[in-house]
Structure 1
C-alpha cells in the first residue's frame, strides 16, 4: 500500500520542492481535520503556525502542542493525525531520502 502523504492525503499535503536527496512538503489543515494513515521518512518539521494535534500509531495516541516558528526533528514514522485545536495547522516538512541509522521510532516531534 502506498503510504506517501501526498497520495493518501492530497487535500492537505503538497510538494514544494524535490531533488534526489530531499523532498519538501507543505501541510495545511483546519480544526477537526483528520488524516488517514501515512508514512514520513526521517524529517525536519518547521511550524509556520501554532497548533494542537493528536497523532495515532500502533494503538497509541500522543497529543502534541507546537508553537509557531520552531524546527523539530522527526524520526521516520507511520501515523494518522487530527487537528484537536482551535487554529489551522501550517507546517513544512523537509524529508530526507537517504536513510539514517536506526532510531527509536518515537511518535511525534522531538
Structure 2
C-alpha cells in the first residue's frame, strides 16, 4: 500500500484538522510539481483554485481539470500526480476514517473541536 500523503509528500500536504471521525488535509503545488505515490481513503475534495493535473496509478493515467469552488467525492485510491497546468493547485481533502461511529454525545449546536 502507498504511503500517507502527509508522510510521503510533506512539502505539498499538511493536516489542518483531525479528530476521531475525519482528517482534513490542505494540498498546495505549483506548475511542474510532482508527488510520489501515496494513498487517500474515501474523501470529499474542495478545490480552492482551478488546476490541471495528471494522475497515475500503474498503467492507468488520467488528466483532470477542475474549476475553483468544485466539491466532489474522491473514492479511496492510490496514485501519484503532476501539475501539468499553468496555475498552482490548492485543495482541501476531508478524509473519512473507517471507524467513524456515531459519538452518542447527544445534541450539539454549532461547531466543536
Tell me which residue corresponds to 1:95: 95
Alignment of 1:17-36 (within 5 A): 17-36=17-36
Matches of 1:33 and 1:16, distance apart in 2: 21
Matches of 2:56 and 2:64, distance apart in 1: 11
Tell me which residue corresponds to 1:106: none
For this pair of structures, how many residues does the alignment match?
Answer: 100
For the 8 Å contact 2:56–2:81, the answer to whether it is kept is yes
Return structure 1 stretches of 4+ with deviation > 3 angstroms. none
Larger Rg: 2
Offset of 1:58 from its aligned partner? 2.2
Structure 2 gaps of 5+ residues are 100-113
TM-score by length of 2: 0.85
Structure 1 gaps of 5+ residues are 100-110
Matches of 2:47 and 2:2, distance apart in 1: 26
Deviations 1:86-105 (A, max 9, x none): 00000000000027xxxxxx
